[in-house]
A and B are shown apart, each in its own frame.
Chain A
Amino acid sequence: MKTDSKTNKHVYWNPYYGGFLLGILIIFTFYLTGRGLGASGAMKSSVVTIVDKVAPTHAENNEYYSKFISKDNSPMNTWLVFETLGVLIGAFISGGLAGRIKWRVQHSPKITRKRRLVFALAGGVLFGLGAQIARGCTSGAALSGMAVLSSGGFLTMLAIFGSAYAAAYFFRKNWI
């Protein structure tokens, strides 16, 4: 038992331990449901739902939104949305037990809060766009794809890490 967690907010699990448990979870998920984990799918469902509520005809006429809209089922009623709710709960429990819950903007002391938020927004836009083009993010395409040796999963993983390393130099001021 760790009792000094309040003063040790940055003590995390051993990465091999976390990775091992995550691997076991992926096996369990495939064993039960036949599919892997995901994360960006729920955000896509949210966007489809919002657009469908705000501009129903526009959503029906758009070739992409209309794939996910059906008359008798809400686009939010998908496996990934429920899984994502769970992720929020699980992370909240873990963060709560370790004393890490707090409203704050985390950034390098060398950059301003505003700069961090601008880059976070831009990074999010790019990730959201890329995840649609590749039909999945690091969880859905790369991690769950690699678990079943999917060729696309390996390709996406190599592309994500390859381009992130290639671009890292240009963003170094934000992090180091």
Chain B
Amino acid sequence: MGPLIPNGMIPIEWDSIIAIFIGIVFGFVLESSGFSSSRKLAGVFYGYDFAVLKVFFTAAAVSVIGLYYMDYLGYLDINQLYVHPTYLWGAIIGGIIMGIGFVAGGFCPGTSLCAVAIGKLDAWVYVAGIMIGVFLFSELYPFFEPIYNGYFLGNVTLIDSFGWNPYWVIFIFSMIAIVAFAISDIVRKKIKSVFY
């Protein structure tokens, strides 16, 4: 029963080795999907290329369906998986700042690494920027501490927060994704295409 490493089915020494292999596949898939190009990524915000929306939401839907299916079939205990903690205002304010950074810089950290690997100098500068950002946050930590540590709701899922049935949540999420894909195709046809 998974997860395999925390349950001792695979020795912990394999952890770092597995990390590298998972990273290789992650980088390969992102780069092959075109995520090393800031102009392709930014397209989602201007309607000329919806690759980000399609890749991101397909991945989210596939993974959440797969994880709950494996839990249902007994291969995996969903309650043992790490749930990203919810700090209400940290998530919102951090997300808003990241959104502006995304549209200004054209990358997010994972995609900038892919662009770094193929020699995009703007991505090198972007990664330097991220490190400066982390540095600023750490130096000004006392100032950010209230939103960083405050409004902690626990490692909660939508199921805990709202008491919804997970299968309905996943079904509705997938339907929203499919509708969004259809709308994005309609929008893209109406927007003047941008060549890059």
Contacts and interface: CB of A to CB of B under 8 A. Distances in A.
B96 A92 contact: no
Interface string A73-92: 00000011011111111111
Contacts of A155: 86, 88, 91-92, 95
B94 A65 contact: no
Interface in A110-127: 116-117, 119-127
A162 B91 CA distance: 13
A27 B65 CA distance: 9
A47 B5 CA distance: 28
A74 to B, nearest CB: 12
Interface in B155-174: 155-161, 166, 169-170
B127 A79 contact: no
A14 to B, nearest CB: 9
Interface in B100-122: 100-110, 112-122
Interface string A12-27: 1101101111111111
Contact of B133 (A29, A92, A125): A125
Contact of B36 (A15, A39, A93, A100): A100
Chain B contact residues, majority secondary structure? helix
Contacts of B55: 15-16, 18-19, 22
Contact of B86 (A63, A119, A139, A150): A150
B110 A125 contact: no
Contacts of B148: 132-133, 135
Interface of A: 10, 12-13, 15-16, 18-37, 39-40, 43-44, 46-48, 51, 62-65, 79-80, 82-96, 98, 100-108, 116-117, 119-168, 171-172, 174-176
A133 B70 contact: no
Nearest to A121: B129
B3 A23 contact: no
Contact of A26 (B4, B59, B119, B129): B59
A137 B110 contact: yes
Nearest to B60: A146
Contact of A86 (B26, B85, B106): B26
Nearest to A95: B118
Give the one of B75, B110, B121 with max A CB within 10 A: B110
B100 A108 contact: no
Given A123-B100, A124-B130, 6 more contacts: A88-B27, A121-B126, A125-B133, A128-B132, A135-B90, A159-B99
A92 B118 contact: yes
